[in-house]
Chain A
Amino acid sequence: MKNNISPFTKFRQSRIFWPLVALLLIFIFDGIYAPGFFKLGILDGHLYGNLIDVINNGAPLVLVAIGMTMVIATGGVDLSVGAVIAISAAMGAVLINPAFGNELISNDILTQNVSRTPLGLIVLANLAAGTACGLWNGFLVSRAKIQPMVATLILMVAGRGIAQLITNGQIMTIYYTPYFFFGNGYILGLPVAVYIVLAVLGLAWLLVRKTSIGLFVESVGINAESTYYSGISEKNVKLLAYTFCGFCSAIAGLILSSYVHSADANNIGLNYELDGILSVVIGGTLMAGGRFSLLASVIGALVIRTFTITMYTVGIPANALLAAKAVLVLIVILLYSEQAHKIINAVFERKGRSKDAKN
């Protein structure tokens, strides 16, 4: 029996099995209570429906989850992703109509559908700001040897303040339409954000699975010291992970600010660090570090997003929203416990055995 493992057993043991089960459970729930949830239509030449919303406004969370997976795999955590989103969004919004010298930026200038900075430069500055934040976290963790939680807590607290300094305490509304492409645009009927996510996921996958970096990341997460004695620079591996997480958060900031047409230093990307960590946990990557799966974290993020949209569709009252979310988290975490796995595996194995016996 060991020589020929059935494809189903193989799938059941893979990392994306449990997140997919969670997603499936929500879909079944939708099928029963909100049948219209799966309806897809075509509007203005692009797909339109709840599922498209899930992948479109879930894209920032998916990106954060990809970055967070790398950091958690090294045995760390990044609490600053929400603040980094705010900083990069603020950077992008401010650069659309920057104030040169003593020039006064009046309301007429701000509300015009023009930019005084090329779009490419805006995007570049946006990404650079977030990546720099990631680099800062990486230095604190790898070089200053501060515990990841504490090191990233600094930017979590300070980051929104920095974003407020950039936007001068105002909510910056964006009127420059080409900027909306990232959050509201469509290519071949699918949201632009989906292509961005696929590109980042592809890049990350190449990085960790086609080079030895993925192996290094896992080995640092399992045992940093022995990794060091094996001749691998664990410092640089950590630095890379945090910088990559900052980069992912920056893209998330770009998409989010483009999606809501504004940069609100106080609220943009609020609680994304928690949802990001939750996505990784739902994806089955251990908080202690070590083996990880990017795809599983992506599905984890989609689980959270699908659930939120489901709550709105089903019509859960506003004051019960957080409690409902807590129930989901509880169920998922229980599903992941060793005990639950044992029981479920036992059920499957018994079935499998009887099937084998018949054959």
Chain B
Amino acid sequence: MSRFKSIVLLMVIASLALAACSSAAATEAAAPAAEEAAPAEEAAAPAAEEMTAYTYADMTLCYPQLGAESDWRTANTASIKQTAEELGVTLIFSDAQQKQENQISAVRACIQQGVDVIALPPVVEDGWDAVLTEAKDAGIPVIIVDRSVSADSSLYAAHIGSDMFLEGQRAAEEMNKLLPDGGNILELSGTVGSGAATGRAEGFRDALNANITILDSQTGNFTRAEAIPVMEAFLKKYAGQVDGVFIHNDDMAIGAVEAIKAAGIEPGELKIVSVDGTRGGFQAMIDGWIQADVECNPLLGPQVMEMGLKLMNGEAVDPETLTNETVYYPEEAEELLPTRQY
């Protein structure tokens, strides 16, 4: 028994140590540097005004990516890197492995290096005030990418991203169309507490017709492996009662389709609406399983770089920019699949 206790204790210590040591070191180093950087930046600012407009070649962009948890994220990373290479932007890229403390220390390191623009895809909503204030004091504009932050909007220049609530509403509209006479549906939601899962769930309920009932909702953590057993259990519990399923991302949809297949249900019997628009989702649409796929676009590179350049040149930008998104249907899936980049 004491061995077990010590294992648990050691694992807790190990995870804490791994998380803490990197951020602690960076904080100490960054704090004085940030103070030094602030006056230097102020001195540089008037000089910059006299010069002609900056180009992409002058730009150093810091992109502390939050991790690599899904196909979507991988595509997002690829887009940023590729765009930077094409435009000649100097990119400082890091991977925070889904930990906020890693991301904060990465941002501090960028402030210390005196980059021109920071583009931050925040892993969670809260707790950004301090580091955003540091960036503001250092005169470095911050673009919040993809997910949103709860910090005061005066602390960052702009937000580029998807409106998760709107995605949920779009999905609900599709479901309304697919089940005009009403019916019972199930929901496979994303990671508990993530902005994407909360926003999509709320938006969906907001726009859903009153004659459609959500029988049950359970998390699949945005992954296939967890979505399958949930769907299997659902299909047995609600055998014959279900008309549709709303799934928060394509990875879970692909998993759920496996469970639905195993239950002997034919494609199209259950109306499935999913979110993302990945290749896997397109393939499932071609095969007839998914009836509508709400896009959530990860290819944000060009938009981020363009806004970064505008900010460097002191041009006005829209503080709340939505990414260009649409809804895809099976009819066009086959044609569009080869063009999908993620």
Contact = CB atoms under 8 A, between A and B. Distances in A.
A164 interface: yes
Nearest to A305: B229
Contacts of B217: 317-318
User: Which of A50, A173, A288, A309: most chain B CB closer than 10 A?
Assistant: A173
Given A260-B258, A309-B233, A318-B218, A44 B223 contact: no
Nearest to A111: B283
Contacts of B340: 107
B236 A50 contact: yes
Contacts, number: 115
B74 A262 contact: no
Interface of B is mostly: helix
Given A173-B254, A321-B219, A262 B236 contact: no
B254 A149 contact: no
B189 interface: yes
A111 B4 contact: no
Given A108-B338, A313-B236, A53 B7 contact: no
Contacts of B193: 319
B237 A261 contact: no
A262 B233 contact: no
Given A48-B263, A288-B3, A313 B233 contact: yes
A312 B4 contact: no
B58 interface: no
A312 B225 contact: no
B142 to A, nearest CB: 26
B264 A44 contact: yes
A289 to B, nearest CB: 8
Interface residues of A, number: 48
B234 A264 contact: no
Nearest to B279: A107
Contacts of A39: 236
Interface residues of B, number: 47
B4 A287 contact: yes
A259 B280 contact: no
Given A43-B264, A260-B258, A312 B229 contact: yes
A98 to B, nearest CB: 20
A232 interface: no
Interface in B230-282: 230, 232-234, 236-237, 251, 254-255, 258, 262-264, 279-280
B68 interface: yes
B12 to A, nearest CB: 12
B5 to A, nearest CB: 9
A281 B229 contact: no
A173 B74 contact: no
Contact of B233 (A53, A256, A281): A53
Contacts of A50: 232-233, 236
A49 B235 CA distance: 10
B110 interface: no
B280 A173 contact: yes
Interface in B177-220: 189, 192-193, 216-219
A79 B233 contact: no
Interface string A294-318: 0000000000000011001101011
B338 A107 contact: yes
Given A184-B262, A287-B4, A318-B219, 14 more contacts: A48-B263, A77-B3, A107-B338, A261-B224, A262-B254, A264-B251, A267-B221, A286-B3, A287-B3, A288-B3, A313-B237, A315-B218, A319-B193, A319-B219
Q: Which 10 A-B pairs have the closest CB atoms?
A: A312-B233, A318-B219, A287-B3, A287-B4, A260-B224, A267-B223, A43-B264, A313-B233, A260-B225, A319-B192
22 contacts: A43-B263, A50-B233, A108-B338, A170-B71, A170-B74, A171-B71, A171-B74, A173-B279, A173-B280, A184-B262, A260-B225, A260-B255, A267-B224, A281-B4, A287-B3, A287-B7, A309-B232, A313-B233, A315-B216, A317-B218, A318-B219, A319-B193
